[in-house]
Each structure stands twice: as structure tokens, then as C-alpha cells.
Amino acid sequence: MPSQAKPECTCGDTTAAAGGKRRIIFPCAGQANTGQLTNLAAIQLTEEGYGNIACVALLATGSEGLVANALKADEVVILDGCPMLCAKKIAEAQDIPVDQHIVVTGLGLEKGSSRDYTDDDIETVVSAVWEGEGRI
Amino acid sequence: MIMVKIEVFGTGCMKCKRLMKNVEKAVKELGIDAEIVKVDDIVEIMDRGVMLTPALAVDGEMKISGRVADVKELKEILGG
């Protein structure tokens, strides 16, 4: 009896070949709780196969390789912790178009002096990105 | 109001869960009457001809395969 091909799960596959999009994620990774949350969320999004985290500090230096990678991506996702919008400004300074922009304080999470966070806080940011809440 | 049948195909991986969550949010925001069914049986998924998961069917018609649609796209699919 001929065997039937099994369906393939696209988890972990971020390539366009899988019907998904090649995304690059820049978290602001700022020192405040909300900035740190962007980093944790970007790591989780990478692990879930949404896209690939990249270093916004390196982008700020004008790294030619990273700018080229960002320009090659199907979507650029920026995660800012607060309304200072540092990561978005860095991307704009390198003429990188932004497809989705999330500001953590805009999701009801408060910027404060404590760096305490919960798994729910990370989930709030991660699910907002999957939902496309910051799509431009 | 006519009830829409939405099927989410996936074997329980993270992307399938994300698609399910987005579908639930889209349905809630649209305020439509929908039956959301999670299809996680591999044999049924194969029988329906799904080759890439997660996948989504609306009233039996396959709309998305191999990716997670965001809420805006799902609302367009369900609202249009």
C-alpha cells in the first residue's frame, strides 16, 4: 500500500518557503523593566519561530551587514519599551522601513524602577506581536 | 445570524496555538457567531489534504496553510 505523505509542521521555520515570512526583530533592550521585557519577548518570539532577534545596538553603529539583513527581511518588527521609541528611531536612522511596531507601555504595562516581571508580562508582548497589533 | 464554522488544523505546536488564539480574538472583535473547531488528529488533518500546519478552513474551504495569520488578516477573511 503506498504511504501517504504526512503533513509538515512549520514550527521553527521562519522562511518564506514555508508560507511564512522572514522577519527580523529588534528589541530596544533598554535598562528599564519595559526595555528588558522587549528583549525577553523577542527571545521567546525567536524560539516560537516568529522571526529572528537582532541587536539594535549593533544596528545603531550602522553595521553594513545587519542593515543589509534588515533590508532583505520580509518584515521588520520593532519592540520599544516606552514612548522614547529608541529602537524605532535607530531603525529610521538607518533608513530601514518598519512593518510592525509595538510599544510595551502601550499594552498596559507600566515603566517603573523595579525590574520584576511575570511570565504574563512577556506573554502580553509576545501575543501582541503574533496578533499583529503593531502592524503599520 | 448564520454561524460560521472555523477549523484550525494543527497537532498542538506553538504556532497552532497562536493561530487559535488569533482566531478567537478576531471572532470576538468581529462579534460574529462562529463555531471554532480545533482539528488535532493527524489522520483527519491528512484526510483534509493539509500538508503544512497550522492551517485554517472557513466553512470547509481552506484559507491558510503553513503560517499564523494575524488578527487583521483573519478579520478580513472572516468579515469578507
ipTM field: 0.89
For residue A90, pLDDT over 80 is answered with yes
CB pair distance less than 8 Å for B67 and A10: yes
CB pair distance less than 8 Å for B53 and A8: yes
| Structural domain boundaries in chain B | 4-79
For residue B1, pLDDT over 80 is answered with no
Mean of all residue pLDDT scores within chain A:
92
> What is d(CA A69, CA A50) in angstroms, rounded to the nearest whole number?
16
Mean of all residue pLDDT scores within chain B:
94
CATH code linked to domain B4-79: 3.40.30.10
| Residues from chain B contacting residue A132 (CB–CB below 8 Å) | 70-73
Chain A's closest residue to B55, CA to CA, is A9
Closest CA of chain B from A113, distance in Å: 32
Which residues of B are identified as catalytic?
13, 16
- Give the H/E segment covering residue A12: none
How far apart, in Å, do the first and last CA atoms of chain B sit? 15
Chain A's closest residue to B51, CA to CA, is A7
**What topology does CATH give the domain A20-131?**
Rossmann fold (3.40.50)
One-letter amino acid of A123? E
- Stretch A95-101: mean pLDDT: 98
Q: List Cα–Cα distances, B26 to A55, A95, B69, B77, in angstroms.
A: 32, 33, 11, 10
For residue A58, pLDDT over 90 is answered with yes
